[in-house]
């Protein structure tokens, strides 16, 4: 039996999803679990994987065709991300490419023609890697309280501040950076006064340092300091002061794609657990015959399938240009829990061997855990749903 795959309700969609998976399969087989295990253990970025995904057109699938990309929507990108996660690449593989998929969305939607020409073509060709710079040590999820400042100077802006948990910063040349151009107290509302820029990372005015962490170690998460970095005014994305709203385009796409990656890991872990449950014989019968093993796996399958349906809905709404904030939050929330639970149950099904690196389920487990923390916590996703979907008073 192949990796357990979910079914789309629409026959055309189902056929398209399967076509994408089949197209990706030969490439993904070139990067087996041993490749990801090795890169994770040695903290080495998967350059070969990124190059292969770019050359085949999968890593630039959402960049418009006129700039050399695939011209596809987030729904297609989500299938790609799920397939990558389900291949055994898990979060290391997904994070290595998802910045170049969702990170350019604000530029695609709000960037000037010159900005698009300058950066999208490079990204599509694979010569430009982009990080995402939003989170700060003292602001966390409260983005309106970021302290990184971009002060207007002759010909552009001078940036000073610090970002944290910036994925892929040590292996990227540019960052889509959110900074305050107007102090919060001077704005009509807190969400105004922030601007979005394409800024350099390869600069003597930028310091990058990797944060030691539990998993997904092939792709660094970094603390990044900007000390007087000059950003050309032509590298402003959209309208000055409205960067937060431009950023939301990328954030909803990010949540959908993170949900897809979580689903991929969950399905991969479930397939590993199913295989082991059939092969492992204890007390003269396969352990999968025991309801204590079988029922948790069946429950995970149901939860993954349900989360997948919401993820599909969020992706479709996004591509249709409709408000999908609630659906994107639901997708991220449900997929993060389902993916992690599936990985945890895969470890439990393997018993002591589940804790051994050679079986890889412990790696899936470590990498699936971060989905419950980022790009927003489960609690903040619930906050969003409570206020936006249920109309309850804000608690923050």
User: Residue 240 — very low, low, confident or very high, per pLDDT cuts 50/70/90?
Assistant: very high
User: Tokens 């710079």, residue?
Assistant: 133
CA distances from 209 to 143, 163, 201, 204, 223 (A): 22, 11, 12, 14, 5
Q: Is the pLDDT of residue 1 over 50?
A: no
pLDDT, tens digit, 9 for 90 and up, residues 306-347: 999 999 999 999 999 999 999 999 999 999 999 999 999 999
- In degrees, rounded to 5, the angle at the alpha carbon of residue 198 between the alpha carbons of residues 196 and 202 is 135
Domain boundaries, the chain: 11-110, 130-241, 245-388
Which of 203, 197, 208 minimizes the C-alpha distance to 167? Answer: 208
Residue 16 confidence class, pLDDT cut points 50, 70, 90: confident
pLDDT at 15: 85
Handedness of CA 349, 352, 353, 354 (dihedral sign): positive
Note the helical H segments in 280-377.
291-319, 325-350, 361-369
pLDDT at 3: 47
Q: Which CATH superfamily is domain 11-110 in?
A: Acyl-CoA dehydrogenase/oxidase, N-terminal domain (1.10.540.10)
Residue 7's pLDDT is: 57
Inter-CA distances, 338 with 203, 296, 390, Å: 41, 12, 23
| CATH number assigned to the domain with residue range 245-388, chosen from the 4 options 1.20.950.20, 1.10.10.350, 1.20.140.10, 3.40.50.620 | 1.20.140.10
pLDDT of residue 196: 97
Residues 6+ apart with CB under 8 A from 370: 91, 215, 216
CATH number of 130-241: 2.40.110.10
**Pairing of β 206-210 and β 130-133:** unpaired
| pLDDT number for residue 156 | 97
Peptide bond into 56 cis (omega under 30): no
The C-alpha atoms of residue 136 and residue 223 are separated, in whole angstroms, by 9
Q: Quick: pLDDT tens for 80-108.
A: 999 999 999 999 999 999 888 888 889 99
pTM score of the predicted model: 0.94
DSSP string, 303-315: HHHHHHHHHHHHH
Is residue 25 classed as helix, strand or coil in its secondary structure? helix
Confidence of residue 8 (pLDDT cuts 50, 70, 90): low
pLDDT in tens, 118-137: 999 999 999 999 999 999 99
Calpha distance 5→90 (Å, rounded): 16
pLDDT one-digit tens code per residue, 36-78: 999 999 999 999 999 999 999 999 999 999 999 999 999 999 9
Pairing between β-strand 174-180 and β-strand 130-133 as defined by DSSP bridges: parallel
Angstrom distance (rounded) from CA 133 to CA 206: 13
CA distances from 145 to 140, 387, 395, 396 (A): 9, 20, 16, 13
E strand intervals along the chain:
130-133, 149-153, 156-167, 174-180, 194-200, 206-210, 221-232, 236-237, 281-282, 285-286
């Amino acid at each position: 039996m192949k990796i357990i795959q979910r079914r789309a309700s629409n026959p055309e969609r189902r056929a398209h999803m399967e076509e994408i998976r089949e197209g990706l399969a030969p490439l993904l087989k070139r990067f087996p679990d041993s490749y990801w295990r090795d890169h994770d253990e040695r903290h080495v970025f998967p350059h070969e994987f990124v190059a292969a995904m770019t050359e085949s057109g999968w890593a630039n699938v959402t960049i418009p065709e006129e700039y050399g990309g695939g011209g596809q929507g987030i729904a297609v990108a989500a299938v790609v991300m799920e397939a990558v996660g389900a291949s055994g690449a898990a979060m290391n593989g997904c994070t290595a490419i998802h910045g170049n998929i969702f990170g350019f969305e604000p530029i695609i939607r709000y960037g000037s023609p010159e900005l698009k020409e300058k950066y999208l073509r490079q990204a599509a060709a694979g010569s430009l890697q982009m990080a995402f710079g939003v989170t700060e040590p003292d602001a966390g999820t409260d983005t309106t309280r970021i302290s990184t400042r971009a002060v207007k100077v002759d010909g552009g802006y001078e940036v000073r501040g610090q970002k944290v948990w910036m994925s892929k910063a040590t292996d990227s040349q540019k960052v889509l950076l959110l900074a305050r151009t107007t102090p919060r107290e001077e704005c009509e509302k807190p969400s105004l006064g922030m601007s979005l820029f394409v800024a350099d990372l390869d600069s003597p005015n930028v310091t990058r340092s990797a944060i030691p962490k539990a998993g997904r170690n092939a792709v660094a998460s970094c603390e990044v300091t900007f000390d007087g970095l000059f950003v050309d005014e032509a590298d402003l994305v959209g309208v000055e002061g409205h960067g937060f709203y431009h950023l939301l385009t990328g954030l909803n796409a990010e949540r959908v794609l993170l949900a897809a990656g979580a689903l991929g890991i969950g399905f991969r872990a479930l397939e590993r657990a199913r295989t082991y449950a059939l092969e492992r014989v204890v007390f003269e019968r396969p352990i999968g015959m025991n309801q204590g093993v079988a029922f948790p796996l069946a429950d995970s399958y149901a939860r993954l399938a349900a989360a997948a349906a919401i993820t599909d809905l969020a992706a479709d709404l996004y591509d249709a240009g409709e408000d999908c904030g609630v659906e994107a939050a639901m997708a991220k929330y449900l997929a993060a829990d389902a993916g992690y639970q599936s990985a945890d149950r895969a470890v439990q099904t393997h018993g002591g061997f589940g804790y051994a690196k050679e079986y890889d389920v412990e790696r899936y487990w470590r990498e699936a855990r971060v989905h419950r923390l980022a790009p927003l916590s489960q609690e903040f996703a619930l906050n969003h749903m409570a206020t936006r979907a249920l109309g309850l008073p804000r608690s923050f």
